């Protein structure tokens, strides 16, 4: 099977970053009565482009199938809500946003972020492809259009009178099959003196901290700063500032304006991060060739722990049903014989089965009732929040297990 062409520069792909075998879509949760139904499996093989060095996986399903009815609701993560509120307060103060401004968020989910601008009396507008998620935002009073974002959507919104002073795109760039269409659309929609902020997981952290489980079919691209700066520049947009964030295991927030805007001069942080990535070799192919060996070591360590604990008569349960957890479990071949069930705060996931592993998802109270010896934290980026919520497991000597970057047992 051909690896295809790079979704940015269209060069043929041949250099493997990591091959995680065959896996179902990480958010294709199953109803229990579908437990014996045939699931679709696809190659989960990440390549790095030899020309532009964009790390990417092939798109096997349309965005319409993946995102039109989605089970990820941002508001169920308290730490993410705090992150969103802090951002909104900062942007309002830094750029003097007020009642005469307009803020648009792409992939606005359930209104988790726009609600903070809305409360400050700033006009907002969300664009969200998942109708079930958008309905929650609309119920909060957040105007939301159910649509995928691209050139056609941007042109229609401009024609309808939208000229946003701020466009927000958090954790959506990686999910876009047509990168060039998406970034070109940002330029079309942005007001002449407007600002875009984009947050995305940083490839540097993925490699340094062995975050291979963040690779899944819905997450199509993995960005270094060098690559993302090049993509935006190609479309006449300039990155003029950048911040490093702890979210999602380590993310970047870039600040973008029209390249011909007088205030688009870059901050020192831009040059510093660019040079750091050059020094680390992110602009040469060989830098990407050793990642796969670390992934294999993690698989062995997790399986050795799970099998050893079960043989010792220990009970192991999991917390969370994130996409990254499904990559981990399916790559490692973990099923319900090792982990009988997982729990999740989202009622939209409770009662379903994880794709591939078919591990049941239950309410968090079920974990406390079962009194496990170990709780495997699948959304390891939220481990502090989860350990605080589930602190009661220590009452019977239970411990937490975090698989990434290396397996840790946390009493």
Computed on alpha carbons and rounded to an integer, the radius of gyration of the chain in Å comes to 21
What is the pLDDT confidence band of residue 63, given thresholds at 50, 70 and 90?
low
What is the structure's pLDDT at 281?
A: 97
* Residue 262 burial (10 A CB sphere; 0-12, 13-18, 19+): exposed
**What is the average pLDDT value for the chain, to the nearest integer?**
94
In this predicted model, what pLDDT tens digit does every residue of 159-169 receive, in sequence order?
Answer: 999 999 999 99
Task: Name residues whose C-beta falls within 8 Å of residue 401's C-beta, 6 or more positions apart in sequence.
Answer: 305, 316, 374, 375, 376, 377, 407, 408, 409, 410
What is the structure's pLDDT at 98?
A: 97
What is the structure's pLDDT at 1?
A: 45
**Domain residue extents for the chain:** 67-288, 302-410
Edge-first strand order for the sheet with 399-402 is 361-362, 342-343, 316-319, 374-377, 399-402, 408-410
Q: Is the pLDDT of residue 385 over 50?
A: yes
Q: Is the pLDDT of residue 116 over 80?
A: yes
| Level-2 CATH architecture, domain 302-410 | 3-Layer(aba) Sandwich (3.40)
User: Is 67-288 assigned to CATH 3.40.50.150?
Assistant: yes
Does residue 48 contact residue 288 with C-beta atoms inside 8 Å? yes
State the average pLDDT over residues 364-371.
98
What is the structure's pLDDT at 265?
A: 82
Q: Is the pLDDT of residue 69 over 80?
A: no
Describe the crossing of helices 225-234 and 268-279 by its angle, rounded to 10 degrees: 120
What is the structure's pLDDT at 173?
A: 98
Closest CA to 9 of 278, 329, 231, 266: 231
Q: What's the CA angle centered on 171, arms 50 and 245, to 5 degrees?
A: 90
What is the structure's pLDDT at 60?
A: 81
State the average pLDDT over residues 20-27.
94
In this predicted model, what pLDDT tens digit does every residue of 182-197 receive, in sequence order?
Answer: 999 999 999 999 999 9
What is the structure's pLDDT at 79?
A: 87
- Same fold across 67-288 and 302-410: yes
What is the pLDDT confidence band of residue 72, given thresholds at 50, 70 and 90?
low
In this predicted model, what pLDDT tens digit does every residue of 197-224 receive, in sequence order?
Answer: 999 999 999 999 999 999 999 999 999 9
Q: What's the CA angle centered on 106, arms 207 and 5, to 5 degrees?
A: 50
State the average pLDDT over residues 51-69.
80
Measured between alpha carbons, how far is 52 from 38 in angstroms, rounded to an integer?
38
What is the pLDDT confidence band of residue 68, given thresholds at 50, 70 and 90?
low
In this predicted model, what pLDDT tens digit does every residue of 246-272 receive, in sequence order?
Answer: 999 999 999 999 999 877 689 999 999
| Sign of the CA dihedral with 64 first, then 66, 67, and 70 last | positive
What is the pLDDT confidence band of residue 285, given thresholds at 50, 70 and 90?
confident
Closest CA to 217 of 9, 38, 62, 53: 62
What is the structure's pLDDT at 10?
A: 97
What is the pLDDT confidence band of residue 3, given thresholds at 50, 70 and 90?
confident
Q: Is the pLDDT of residue 120 over 70?
A: yes
State the average pLDDT over residues 142-159.
97
State percent of the chain over pLDDT 70. Answer: 96
Measured between alpha carbons, how far is 142 from 134 in angstroms, rounded to an integer?
9
């Amino acid at each position: 099977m051909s690896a295809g062409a790079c979704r940015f520069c269209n060069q043929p792909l041949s250099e493997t970053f990591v091959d995680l075998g065959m896996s179902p879509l990480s958010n294709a949760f199953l109803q229990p009565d579908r437990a014996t139904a045939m699931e679709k499996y696809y190659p989960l093989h990440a390549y790095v482009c030899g020309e532009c060095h964009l790390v990417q996986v092939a798109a096997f399903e349309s965005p319409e199938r993946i995102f039109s009815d989605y089970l990820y609701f941002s508001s169920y993560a308290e730490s993410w809500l705090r992150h969103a509120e802090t951002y909104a307060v900062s942007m309002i103060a830094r750029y003097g946003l007020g009642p005469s401004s307009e803020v648009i968020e792409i992939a606005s989910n359930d209104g988790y972020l726009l609600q903070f601008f809305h409360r400050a009396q700033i006009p907002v507008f969300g664009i969200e492809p998942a109708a079930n998620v958008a309905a929650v935002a609309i119920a909060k009073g957040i105007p939301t259009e159910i649509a995928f974002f691209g050139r056609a959507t941007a042109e229609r919104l401009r024609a309808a009178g939208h000229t946003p002073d701020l466009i927000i795109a958090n954790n959506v760039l990686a999910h876009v099959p047509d990168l060039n269409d998406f970034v070109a659309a940002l330029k079309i929609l942005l007001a002449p003196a407007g600002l875009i902020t984009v947050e995305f997981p940083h490839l540097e952290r993925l490699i340094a901290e062995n975050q291979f489980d963040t690779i899944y079919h819905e997450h199509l691209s993995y960005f270094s700063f060098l690559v993302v700066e090049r993509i935006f520049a190609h479309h006449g947009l300039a990155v003029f500032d950048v911040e490093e964030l702890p979210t999602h295991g380590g993310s970047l927030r870039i600040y973008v304006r029209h390249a011909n805007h007088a205030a688009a001069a870059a901050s020192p942080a831009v040059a510093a991060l660019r040079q750091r990535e050059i020094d680390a070799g992110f602009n040469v192919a060989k830098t990407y060739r050793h990642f796969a060996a670390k992934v294999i070591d993690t698989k062995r360590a997790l399986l050795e722990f799970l099998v050893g604990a079960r043989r010792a008569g220990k009970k192991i349960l999991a917390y969370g049903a994130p996409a990254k957890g499904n990559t981990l479990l399916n790559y490692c071949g973990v099923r319900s014989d090792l982990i009988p069930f997982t729990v999740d705060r989202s009622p939209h996931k409770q009662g379903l089965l994880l794709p591939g592993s078919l591990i049941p998802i239950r309410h968090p109270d079920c974990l406390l009732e079962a009194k496990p010896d170990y709780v495997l934290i699948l959304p390891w980026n939220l481990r502090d929040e989860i350990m605080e919520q589930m602190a009661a497991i220590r009452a019977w000597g239970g411990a937490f297990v975090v698989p990434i970057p290396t397996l840790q047992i946390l009493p």
